[in-house]
Structure 1
Amino acid sequence: MTGEKFTLMQYSVSAILGLIDAEDFVIPEIQRPFVWKRSQVRDLIDSLYNGYPTGYIITWKNPDVKTKDGGKANGKKVLIDGQQRVTALMAAIAGKEVLDDDFNKDRIKIAFNLLAEDETKSFAVQDASHLKDKRWIPDISVVFDTEFDSFDFAMKYCEVNEGIKPNEVNKAVTALKGIANRQIGVIELDAALDIDEVTEIFIRINSKGTALSQSDFVMSKMAADTIHSGSLMRKTVDYFCHLAVKPDFYSQLTHDAEFQASKYADKIKWLAKDYDDIYDPDYGDMLRVSFMHQFRRGKLADLVSLLSGRDFVTKEFREDIVEESYGKLDAGIMNFINQYNFSQFVMAIKGAGYVSSKLLNSRMTLDFVYTLYLMLLDDPAIPNVQIKRYVQKWFVLSTVTSRYIGSPETQMDRDMRTIGEKGFITFLADVEASALSETFWTVTLPQNLETSSVNSPAFNTFLAAQINMNCNSMLMNGTKVADLITISGDVHHIFPRSYLKNNGVDNKTKYNQVANYIYLDTQVNKAISDDAPNVYFGKVLNQCDGGNIVLGNIADRDLLATNLEENCIPQNIMNMTVENYDEFLTERRKMMAALIQKYYERL
């Protein structure tokens, strides 16, 4: 039998708020948007008022690390679960401001009706009616203020509410203030527990069973640190990720005096004018990349241990490890947010043909490839002019083989260690030899294209290949595939869907095969309508032989042959009907795979 891994305690609401003020409890997401609806805050206050259970709060104590003088630094308690409830209490009872979805500071005010006959209607989210109706206390936080005078309040309340006696008011106010004494269960997890155990405990306790991400733990650790600028680093991560999605948010960021005085502020202001969405990282992505390229490790769980000062050999916790780890993480974050690094990486991805975010399947793949880019910047064996090329090749290889789809952290960790041992060029050659064999190009990849998913990595890589090779769209010389994807265009069917359904191919996964997909100009698609390929290509052949142009803009047979080739469409398409559909799919998959191979080898 193992020992207890947690301690169960009871704290009053006022005690919890006091511990937060004293910074003994740390809310890691206090600078992130409050996600609860205001009605949920009202419901929490109502439950506490009526003595209903409100669930446990889970804390995880940071380990007591050894300091240089041989003493110990007491670890703070980080809230792992219950952050929204505690933030709601701070907003409604302590009158603290919270951040909305736009990172604007705002108050959440809960009103209380002392005279409500129906107790279920005693509380409400404040609106204009509660300011006018004298029966309501518009904002209950005033009652919990240390300067609140119950006697004076009762007298004034009775003056504007005839027929009410002061003792009735005092009784109601006393009941309201009793919320501060309500007990909330707190589960304090042992500091020696590792992340996997903490996550397992969380899942078993939390009725929703929603697992905490390792990046959540990292953010918690950073929020609890005030000695090594961890809390400021966490704020930088939050702000960068928010700006990446919403550049207009920069005007709000300027109000944060602490952040504006830091070295990070000047480094991320470029995002205020960046509207590219190729790589809009969330805080998990940013932490992962910052960590991996500095520590050469792939498992984010290790970062939590390192920020706690854990020695992986002796199992003890030391301050020098904490200091070194925060120093490395700081360097990683600075490299990540560097405008030149970030822009050059995005340029490399777009240069490979992935010009739109809808062509990107795996954020983990982007994370690793940005990590690789930052690693190669420090690799003397790789000339700077070759870094983008290698990044592009690795991104395409990783995407088309789905390298970081299953167990990504394990694969990333293995790849970084192997790169460290062999060097990247040798590593790349070895992976190409094993993962991109002739069998892969001629058998595996065509099989991967046998899907109806427009988001399949193989199909998106095919589109990227067409973009990279500057291919024209079908039947439109001069209109590029890139234009249709980024400006105006959509995926359509070479064998029209209605045509196939009307002729017996009514299985959705059959007529929606990606080998039947193509980006088409809208007018071309309308002109094709529901015609069979032999019908609409017959019109194109007619215009090539001197007839009027009625479909697309190609009026030359040689140009038509080239157009079909760059779209991987068999030359005999102009003779095909529904009877040839399966033959068409098989042949086009082979052609698409061959184009991807050609594209990869010329990168």
Structure 2
Amino acid sequence: MSTQRYSVTPHPIETLLTWVKSGEIAIPEIQRPFVWESTKVRNLLDSLYHGYPVGYLIAWRNPTVKLKDGTPSAGKRILIDGQQRVTALMAGLLGREVLTKNYETIRIRIAFHPQTEKFEVANPAIRKDGAWIEDVAAVFAPDADLIDLTEEYVAKNPAADRKKVGKILQKLGKIVNNHVGLIELAEDLDIETVTEIFIRVNSAGAELSQADFAMSKIAANETYGGNMLRKAIDYFCHLAVAPEFLGRIEKGDKAFAASEFLPQMRWLKDVNDDIYDPTYTDMLRVAFTAEFGRGKLADLVALLSGRNFETRQYEDVIAEASFARLKQGILRFISKTHFDRFTMILRSAGFVTSDLIGGKNAVNFAYILYLRGRAENVPAAELEQLVRRWYALSILRGRYTASPETAFDFDIRQIADRGLLPYATSVIETELPESYWTGMLPQLMDTSSGQSPYFLAYKAAQVKLGDKGFLSRDITVLDLMMNRNDVHHVFPRKHLKTQGLTRGRYNQIANFVVAQSEINIAIGAKAPEVYFEELAEQCSGGAKQYGGITEREEMSANLRMSCLPESLLDGGIPAYDDFLQQRRKLMALKIKTWFEIL
């Protein structure tokens, strides 16, 4: 018995382009911006002209949905592989504008030389040279007349053979009769299978995910405003990184500028904060999970297709409601009030720069919690504390690092069943017992990764607790984070290298302190027993060599802030491994103190 769940049919290019123009095949308007170079468009046309194969297209017909009156409606075909090729054909042959990866709308003009039968990307020199037809789209225009085109060409090129030119232009015009294979996936395939196929067939070109498939699904829907919603997601992400892009949207996309979305995101033009620059995957995860109470994006694709999870049928009324809910979720995500307050909460926990933010999924779920809390009218002070603590818990326990979708789905369903505050409180108590701070965390801190969540949490703790930089009298860790800081090795790197220690050993996070670069430079490669003795002298009237602290009490307090034993000033320099063990325990206790005041 065959397991084949698809059919393969050759279709003339002309037919495929007609289907695209009529909407029978949906190419999401900005599913992914057109990423091909113009030379690839030229090469595609050249291959077609010479009769070479150009690969298969893969489409999936949306499941048939039941309309409100009970009648069935066959869905459009969604192109899940081949968008760039079809877009290239639309651009090259039909003169359609494309959106570049920089979100600029451009026309790609491919020129053709009838005498040499060469294609080239049009440029100023070609436009001036009458031997070239500067835009092949002229040959494929609905009102094009090959006799007229031949006469025009020969008038500009008297030496050209009229008959030969006519035949060549005829050959060029016939490339739309070339066949391309269309693989159509069975419409009764479940969403998960189609998603898997989508990711697999695209993996050679660019890394794609369920979020990409969801975006294709959204953009292909004009009935319920999916095409405009897709732009809202894309444009918000772009504006968060490049606020100056606003002018280009206003000028180049009048329809979007007139929509309800742009006024909701205009505030981004004045924002230079990069503490949370979401991607479209982040936006979809947050909006969907917060709004629908589900964590798996395959469920979003199913709901937007109209799937009734009870009956396993597809109903138009469910598709309509799902688009409306997703739109609501996106509007809540992009709200200035929500976004500002959420990023303010992150900063209030000590995560004041993007350098202190590790994985995005922990931030995403913290935003989901915030949005759910707002919707449930949780008092502001309680919600802020909850979000701070949950984010800290998430990074310290790696809650969303391995299988984020599964973890999102589990947590959001538990929140729905048990309530936001009771569930979050019980998880925090279970995941962060006393033994975590004194036993597990010091062991986890045996790492050399400067981007380790434990070191990021430690630096956030220093910011929140108002600590001064290592050996700084006035400069705080916050000042250093917001400007320039060095990570100084307490046992200097060069000093340890001379003892034969490897990178993974001398770069232990328990050997790192946050310091001013001038202090770091002044210490250089000196052994700790040397420079700590000089620090002790500095506090007894000796020369000021490192920073401005001259009082013993103040120096001891500064060492405590950096989780360093005060005995270092008395010449009690332990062996390096003993120092690391001692300091990991002190750093873990600082993180605990920080967590308790969040």
* TM-score bracket for the superposition, by shorter chain length: over 0.9
Matched residue type, 1:583: D
Task: Measure how far apart 1:288 and its partner are.
Answer: 1.2
Q: Are the equivalent residues in 2 in contact too, given 1:500–1:578 (CA < 8 A)? A: no
Structure 2: distance between partners of 1:238 and 1:207: 21
Matched residue type, 2:85: R
Matched residue type, 1:279: Y
Structure 2: distance between partners of 1:36 and 1:210: 12
Other-structure match for 2:235: 239
Q: Are the equivalent residues in 2 in contact too, given 1:532–1:576 (CA < 8 A)? A: no
Matched residue type, 1:262: S
Structure 1 portions without partners, runs of 5+: none
Matched residue type, 1:5: R
Q: After the TM superposition, which of the residue ranges 18-27 and 219-228 deviates more from structure 2?
A: 219-228
Task: Measure how far apart 1:577 and its partner are.
Answer: 9.5
Q: How does 1:513-532 map to 2 (within 5 A)?
A: 513-532=508-527
Other-structure match for 1:145: 141
Structure 1: distance between partners of 2:471 and 2:152: 82
Pair 1:304 & 2:311 matched: no
Other-structure match for 2:386: 390
Pair 1:376 & 2:373 matched: yes
Structure 2 counterpart SS, 1:123: strand
Other-structure match for 2:269: 272
Q: 2:577 aligns with which of 575, 582, 588?
A: 582
Q: How does 1:47-446 map to 2 (within 5 A)?
A: 47-116=47-116, 122-202=118-198, 205=201, 208=204, 212-255=208-251, 256-380=253-377, 382-446=378-442
Matched residue type, 1:78: I
Task: Measure how far apart 1:576 and its partner are.
Answer: 6.7
Q: 1:533 aligns with which of 528, 532, 536?
A: 528
Structure 2 portions without partners, runs of 5+: none
Q: 1:555 aligns with which of 540, 544, 550?
A: 550
Q: Are the equivalent residues in 1 in contact too, given 2:29–2:227 (CA < 8 A)? A: no
Q: Are the equivalent residues in 1 in contact too, given 2:63–2:74 (CA < 8 A)? A: yes
Structure 2: distance between partners of 1:419 and 1:312: 21
Shift of the 200–218 alpha-carbon distance from structure 1 to 2, 3 Å rule, reads closer
Q: Are the equivalent residues in 2 in contact too, given 1:110–1:138 (CA < 8 A)? A: yes
Q: Deviations over 1:488-524 (max 9, x none)?
A: 123232221111112222x111111111122221111
Task: Measure how far apart 1:404 and its partner are.
Answer: 0.5
Structure 2: distance between partners of 1:67 and 1:99: 34
Q: Are the equivalent residues in 2 in contact too, given 1:31–1:235 (CA < 8 A)? A: no
Q: Deviations over 1:146-195 (max 9, x none)?
A: 22222222223223324211111112212222221121111111222223
Structure 2: distance between partners of 1:388 and 1:228: 35
| TM-score w.r.t. length of structure 1 | 0.95
Structure 2: distance between partners of 1:314 and 1:31: 30
Matched residue type, 1:12: P
Matched residue type, 2:594: Y
Q: Deviations over 1:461-487 (max 9, x none)?
A: 111111111111100122111222221
Q: Deviations over 1:323-355 (max 9, x none)?
A: 221121121111111100010000001111111
Structure 2: distance between partners of 1:9 and 1:64: 21
Structure 2: distance between partners of 1:84 and 1:220: 13
Q: Deviations over 1:292-341 (max 9, x none)?
A: 11111111111111111111121111112112211211211111111000
Q: Deviations over 1:185-224 (max 9, x none)?
A: 1111122222331233345555728664111122122122
Task: Measure how far apart 1:31 and its partner are.
Answer: 6.6
Structure 2 counterpart SS, 1:193: coil
Q: Are the equivalent residues in 1 in contact too, given 2:195–2:298 (CA < 8 A)? A: no
Structure 2 counterpart SS, 1:479: coil
Structure 1: distance between partners of 2:272 and 2:471: 32
Task: Measure how far apart 1:548 and its partner are.
Answer: 2.4
| TM-score w.r.t. length of structure 2 | 0.96
Structure 2 counterpart SS, 1:287: helix
Q: Are the equivalent residues in 2 in contact too, given 1:534–1:575 (CA < 8 A)? A: no
Query: Identity, % of aligned pairs?
Result: 43
Task: Measure how far apart 1:424 and its partner are.
Answer: 2.3
Other-structure match for 2:39: 39
Other-structure match for 1:469: 465
Q: Deviations over 1:557-600 (max 9, x none)?
A: 11111111111112233467997211111111111111101100
Other-structure match for 1:571: 566
Structure 2: distance between partners of 1:104 and 1:423: 46
Structure 1 counterpart SS, 2:94: coil
Shift of the 193–261 alpha-carbon distance from structure 1 to 2, 3 Å rule, reads same
Structure 2 counterpart SS, 1:185: strand
Other-structure match for 1:8: 8
Shift of the 234–209 alpha-carbon distance from structure 1 to 2, 3 Å rule, reads closer
Structure 1: distance between partners of 2:574 and 2:437: 27
Matched residue type, 1:187: I
Q: Are the equivalent residues in 2 in contact too, given 1:59–1:187 (CA < 8 A)? A: yes
Task: Measure how far apart 1:11 and its partner are.
Answer: 1.9
Structure 1: distance between partners of 2:197 and 2:328: 33
Structure 2 counterpart SS, 1:387: helix
Matched residue type, 2:511: N
Q: After the TM superposition, which of the residue ranges 246-255 and 149-158 deviates more from structure 2?
A: 149-158
Structure 2 counterpart SS, 1:60: strand
Structure 2 counterpart SS, 1:164: coil
Structure 1: distance between partners of 2:523 and 2:572: 14
Task: Measure how far apart 1:430 and its partner are.
Answer: 1.8
Q: Are the equivalent residues in 1 in contact too, given 2:31–2:219 (CA < 8 A)? A: no
Structure 2 counterpart SS, 1:188: strand
